Amino acid sequence: STWIPNSEISVFNNNKTTDYFKVSDDFYYVLDKGKVISEKTNNYFDYTVFPLANIWGFGPNKNKRKYIPSDNEIEEILSYTGIHRIELKYPSIKKNHPGVQLDLNAIAKGYAVDIVHDWLVGQGFANVFVEIGGEIRCLGVNRTGKNWIVGIDIPSDEVSSGQNIFTSTSLEDMSLATSGNYRNYYENNGNKISHSINPINGKPVNNNILSVSVKSKSCLDADAWATALMVMSFEEGIDKVNEFMELEALWITLDNDSDLTHFSSKGFYN
C-alpha cells in the first residue's frame, strides 16, 4: 500500500537511489507479470503512474491538491514514467531515474485474491469464492450446487455497491475484476476528474466508458486488464480482448443520448 509509509512499495518510492533494490518475491512477481501485461496493452497498463496520479489528486496526498496541473508539469513527469523506467533483475529491481515511483493498486488486489484462492485450494477446498474490494475468483459451485453467479453494478455514484445490478455472469473456475470511473473522482469547475489516468498523455480519461469488467483465469490478469481497457477506446479494447483468447470483457458506456448501453466480447456470458 502506498498509503502506508513503511510498506515495501513506499520505502522503494521514497528512495531516490538508482541502485538495485532487493524486494520480496511477491513484489517482484507482481512487477514481472505487470510488465508483460503492459507490453500486451501497448503500455496502457503502466504501474509507474504514481507521480501522475499524485499530481492529479489521487495519491496519498490527495487532500492537498487544490489545482489542475499544467501541461508543463505533466510533461515533466512523463519524462520519467513508463514501464521501461523499471529494471527487473531477480531478486532486485531498480529505477533508472530518481523520480520513478510505483502504483500497484490496479494489479496487487487481484494478486491478493489469487493468493487467498490458491491457499484455500491447497487446504483441500473444492468450492471457493474469494472477493477483495470487488475483485473475485471462483472455483467449483455455490451452496445450491450451481455455478457461482456474480452481479455487476450499475455504474453510478448514487447507489451503493450491490444495490442495483446492471447484469450478472457465471464464473466457472474464473476471475472477474471491474474498473470504473463512477465512484473515484472529484469535480473541478463542473468537470469530473477521473482517477483513471492515461499513462500515455498523463491526463485523466475522458471517454464514454463508465466501467469495464474482465473475466480471466487469473484475478491479477483481470484486475490489470480492466484498468487498461478503461483507458483505451472501446474499439482498441475489443480488438485487444479478441486478440487474447484467455480474456472476455464487458463495457458499460453512455450513448449519445446519455443513456446506459453495453457491449461485450463473444464469450463473456458463456
pTM assigned to the model? 0.93
- State residue 58's pLDDT score: 87
Residue numbers of the chain with a pLDDT score lower than 50? 160
- State residue 141's pLDDT score: 97
Task: List pLDDT tens digits, range 139-192.
Answer: 999 999 999 999 998 887 555 455 689 999 999 999 999 998 765 666 666 676
Nearest to 266 by CA among 128, 25, 244: 244
- State residue 258's pLDDT score: 81
Q: Cell numbers of 104, please?
A: 500497484
Q: Which spans in the chain are helix H? A: 8-14, 25-40, 50-55, 71-78, 108-122, 219-231, 234-243
Residue 198, C-beta contacts closer than 8 angstroms, at least 6 positions apart: 44, 204, 205, 231
